[in-house]
Structures are given as structure tokens and as C-alpha cells.
Structure 1
Amino acid sequence: MQGPGKGVIVNSMILALFEDEFAGNLNPLAHLRPVYDLKFGIRSIREKYLRIFGDEFISLHCRAELASVMADRNPKAEINTYSADKYIFINGRSVIPEKELEKISSDEDLLYTNNGKIAAAVLTGDNLKKIRAAGGKLLSREDFPDLNEKAIKCLWLDYPWELFLENGNEIEREFEGPKMEGNLYDSAVVLNSDMISVSEGVKIKPGTVLDAEEGPIIIAPGVHIMSNSVIQGPVYIRGELCYKSGSENLRKYIYRRGM
């Protein structure tokens, strides 16, 4: 398995993300986007896989009503079509750890399942016929060929509240180590600096408390933390935001356990 950004074709397989018949259970969050474009932790589900497979070329399966918008937004991607001869299909509701992805082999067409559901599949040649015929239909087990199965570990996102409940744990899994590149004023208080990542361009004003004793704090570029704010991990604060004193409870919900 190649590392992040090393190219989409892994062992000659092209990544294909798909929506299955249970995608509607993630509404209303998924009304206007495919399930794999939902944010979970620091990144969207799609972004997690693209860090492994790269984004040079990818196939994206989505509901028919989203196809034209997806084509406009992803000009390099195949939308509901499959022109190559070998693909690794990954369910857009599944979060498969990289170590588990490394177990997927291109040597044999297989279904990789978890709790009776298809999390991933390697399909080539004639085994792609049903998928190609499905178009923008939400995929079910009947759209995959009858192949041998192999168990794989993954996290399923079945309902909207699971993204919120698991968000803090996912932030912890995605934490890549400490850094302090922003402007941290002298009177700011830092607890457990080994679990704090502050990007370039961040301003953290006097009196702020960064408490990472319960989990990592990740602050993206361009964030302005105003004086006397309290931030408790696990939390991810995305870029170009102004974080005010007294907003801790709201932000804690949105970024610690939310989207």
C-alpha cells in the first residue's frame, strides 16, 4: 500500500467510493452531498481515503440526483462510470483503518465484509458488469457479484448522531503530533503540550487556556483565539474562525463531538 498522496493506483487498482442502500439513514446531513463527503474528525471520509490512494484519478458513485453537481465539482473523476478494468470499491459509510486497507490484495476479486455488510470489494473484468449497469442507483449486495468474502475491521457510520458521538475519538486517531507554529502570547496557559497542534497564522491571545489533558487540540491556519477563551480537547478548530471567550460550550459541541 502506498502512502498519502503517492498516487491513486495501488497495485494497479483504482479507488471507487460508493453509496449503498443505507445512505439515506444519514439524512439530513447527506441530503446535498454523498455520504463520503461528510466531515468526520478533521477530514471528510473521502479525504481520509485520498490521503492513502491519492487524488490523481478516482471513481465516485453517488445518487443520480447528485451526479451532475458531482461531475461539475470533480472534473477529473469518473461519476457513476467505470472505464478501467480493476477497481477497489470502498463503502462511503465505512472508515477503514490504513492497516486494514493494507490487507486488501489486488490478486483476487473478493468482497471485504464487516457485520454482514460490504465495506470494500476488489472487482475486475466481468465482475464489474452489475456495478456498471447500476448507474446512479444506491448499491446493494445484489449489485455485487457472488464472490468469496473476507472479514475486515472498520467503523460504520449508520446514523447522523454517530458522527457526533465518535467525532472526538476520530480526532484523536487523526492527530499527527505536536507543533506550535502560530503566535501564542506569554500569558496563555498550555496543558499537555505534546497533544497540541497550532498551525501557522494562528493567533492565541492572552489568558487563553489550551487544555489537552483529555485529548488533542488541533487548530488550523488562520484561527484567531480571543483573550480568556478556554479550549478543551479533543477538539479540532478549522481555519479562518474567530473563537470568542464565553463560546467554549458551543464550540466544544461543534468541534469536539460535532462536525
Structure 2
Amino acid sequence: MTTLLQFVEPFQIENLYPLTITRPAADLRCGILTIAEKWMRDLGIGQENTGFLTREHLNHPQSRFKAFRTTESSGTIIQVHGAIIPNPLLIAHTKGLKPGEALSHNNEIIVSCITTESNEISNTINYTDSFDSIDRPYHIFALNGKEIIQDFARITGGRSSSSLTSSNRALGPHPIFIEEGAKVECATLNSNDGPIYIGKNAEIMEGSLVRGPFAMCEGAVLKMGTKVYSATTLGPYCVAGGEISNVVFWGYSNKGHDGFLGNAVLGEWCNIGADTNASNLKNTYDEVKVWNYSSGRFEKSGQQFCGLIMGDHSKCGINTMFNTGTVVGVGCNLFGAGFPRQFVPDFSWGGAQGFVTHKLDAVHKTAALVLSRRKREYGDFEKQIMEYAYKITAPLRGEE
């Protein structure tokens, strides 16, 4: 009998907006891997037997978030709360579940074991041990250093690294792992505080200074002279330059020039203009308040350091300045002098002087051009997601 893995959405998925408007919670990247990829590796379940029980706009024949990809007609299904990060103890309890059993934490089911014939739960087990979860966007960068270390072990265990050339300087006791095809020249790699992972065909250009824990995924690039502080991740095919500290870039996003970005999360297909700077600490050193889509107001984050949170397909022009804890929604285009307000609604066009709506046709046109530059297609599935995002965020822009 085949074991299937299925991710279910958190009850209040809006708490993770704008990042989860365009993806399931389990597709959030923290560390090197997404939450889904961590569970798949830890449970030994392949992609062909993994699915997502998610929202309607993420279902499409072209979607990578299908319910199941298997052709099996019967099997056991492990259902997992999509915002929960696995650890060895939680994985051991999950593997011990029998059909009809579930683990609950604070009266919420976090993992269940059902079958393709029956989703009935007859025995709920109270799980009292600790685990991490992504309940707000800023939890991603807050947990990123820890998760880089965990994912490094998942990915590199029992494997051999490619060699670092003599033009580089490496120091520190933690390992540096270089995948096949990666290029690193004339860089300083400091692993005193954690490991450094350099993905397949990634590149670190000359003069870059890197402190671990740090990870760059397949095809990512650090441009010449980049300064990278701990707990930073570059997702697949991202480009980064300037000064970055505790930033999580997701796939295909760019910050290729000078300027500072710290304690931040950038979604996919974002672009940060040259000399953009984002504050991550208030002058008063107070706790940072961050916009919450679910409550429709700013909430205390528990973070003294919190920079930019940016949704997919958003861009900012040269010399843009962001206040501490700024949230930029999906599909925005920002430019001009001054600081935009601390919450920029999805599909906004403008800056500190005010906003108009970034019309959907224009968003589609730009996205198609951006994806084609990376030899990717902006297809019907991507359009469906953006059309849904445009519709549900209309009230935030004062539209019906």
C-alpha cells in the first residue's frame, strides 16, 4: 500500500498574506527547503506521492499544487498542517501513526493518518513536545538561520562537496558544501557561526564576503563585492548584491545592486532597484508593528529587527526607501522620492506621493516579459492566481 503525503492549509491563511495569496503555506521557503520539501525528505515520500489540499485558485491543470500526482487508487494518507516545520521527534510520532489516528496541539490537529477510503479520525493524541511553525511572514526570517542548519544536514548528509579553489579564503569550524557546477572565486567564506551551502550552478563573484549560516539554491548569483550576513537564503535563480542580512529571497527575485536589505522576505519574481534601502530597526529601538491582512490593522510583531515583506511580482525603482516593517502586497510597482507608507496594498502603482491601481492587464504584460527573460512561461495558471489576488484585495485599494 502506497503512503501519500498531503498538506492542508492553516485555519487563518490570511495571517501569512501577502506571501500565501499566491501559494500554499507548505510552499513557504525557510532555510534552504520549503516546508513541503522538508517533510518529503524526512518521511521519505517522493514528489509523485505528494499533494496539496488548498484553495480553489491554486487548482489548475498546470498547477504544481495538485491534490495528488499519484495514480494509486488506494493507500495511506499522511495529512500535515502546512505551516508546521518538522523536527526529528515530530517525524518519529508521525511515522508511528496508524490509520484513524491524529496528533493535536492546543486543540488543533497538526498531523493525521487517514486512508483513501476513509478520512475518519477515531483516536486523537495530544502532542505536547515543541515544534516551530510559520504563523506570520516575519517568522520566516526569524527562523531562517536555524532552518539553514537543519536543511544543510538534510541535504548534505553522507555526500561529498566539490572543492573550493585556492583563490578563496575559508575560515571557521562549520562545513562549507559546494554542489556540482557552482563557481566561487576570490571570496571570503566565514563559517564560524554556521554552515554555508552553495547550490548547483550557483555563483559567488569576486570580492564577496559571506558569513554563515548562509544558503544559495540552484542557479543563484552573488554579484561582485556583495556583503552577506548570517541567516540569509537566496532561492533558486535569485541575484543579490550590495549589503544583505538575514534575508530570505524566494525564486527568481533580484536585488542586484548596492543598498541595504535586512530581516526581510521577498517573494518570487520581485525586483529591487539600484540603491534601494530598507530600514530594519526603528530609531526608538521599539518593537516593530507589521500589517496583518486578517485583522486589517498593524500588530505587534515581537521583533525589534524587521525589514521589508514583499509579495510576488512586486518591483521598486532606483533609490526607493522603505520604513521599518513595510509590507508590500502582490503585483506592486513602486517608485519616486520619499518613503511609501508602511503597508502598500496589492496591485498598487506609485510611491510616497500616492497610489493608483496597477491594472491587471499591465501586471500580466510585465510578468510575461519577466518570465520570458528567464525562459519561463507566464501561463493560464499564473494568470488565474494573479486574477484571484487582484479580486480579493480590491477593498484594500478602496475598490468594490
Q: Normalising by the residue count of structure 2, what TM-score does the alignment of the two structures yield? A: 0.51
Correspondence 1:117 to 2:108 = yes
Shift of 1:117: 2.5
SS across alignment from 1:111 = strand
Specify which structure has the bigger relative contact order, considering alpha-carbon pairs within 8 angstroms and separated by 6 or more residues: 1
Correspondence 1:103 to 2:93 = yes
Would you tell me which structure has more helix in proportion to its own residues?
Answer: 1
Give the root-mean-square deviation of aligned CA atoms.
2.9
Question: 1:223 touches 1:242 (CA, 8 Å); kept in 2?
Answer: yes
Shift of 1:168: 0.8
Q: Structure 2: which amino acid aligns with 1:190?
A: A
Alignment gaps of 5+ in structure 2: 229-242, 250-262, 266-400
Structure 1 pair 106–255 and aligned structure 2 pair: CA distance change class (3 A): closer
Alignment gaps of 5+ in structure 1: 1-8, 130-144
Corresponding residue for residue 188 of structure 1: 168
Corresponding residue for residue 136 of structure 1: none
Q: Normalising by the residue count of structure 1, what TM-score does the alignment of the two structures yield? A: 0.76
Q: Structure 2: which amino acid aligns with 1:191?
A: L
Corresponding residue for residue 247 of structure 2: 254
Alignment: residue pair count: 228
Q: Structure 2: which amino acid aligns with 1:36?
A: A
Shift of 1:125: 7.3
Q: Structure 2: which amino acid aligns with 1:31?
A: I
Report Cα offsets for 1:41-93 as digits up to 9, x if no partner: 1111111122222223233200112112xx423498538xx964642210101
Shift of 1:243: 1.3
Structure 1 pair 199–193 and aligned structure 2 pair: CA distance change class (3 A): farther
Report Cα offsets for 1:158-206 as digits up to 9, x if no partner: 0000011101100011123585415x33231101264211112222212
Q: Structure 2: which amino acid aligns with 1:110?
A: E
Correspondence 1:223 to 2:202 = yes
* Separation in 2, partners of 1:53, 1:154: 21
SS across alignment from 1:113 = strand
Percent identical pairs in the alignment equals 24
Corresponding residue for residue 148 of structure 1: 124
SS across alignment from 2:93 = coil
* Separation in 1, partners of 2:40, 2:59: 20
Report Cα offsets for 1:3-41 as digits up to 9, x if no partner: xxxxxx6xx542121113122211111111111111111
Structure 1 pair 212–75 and aligned structure 2 pair: CA distance change class (3 A): closer
Shift of 1:120: 0.4
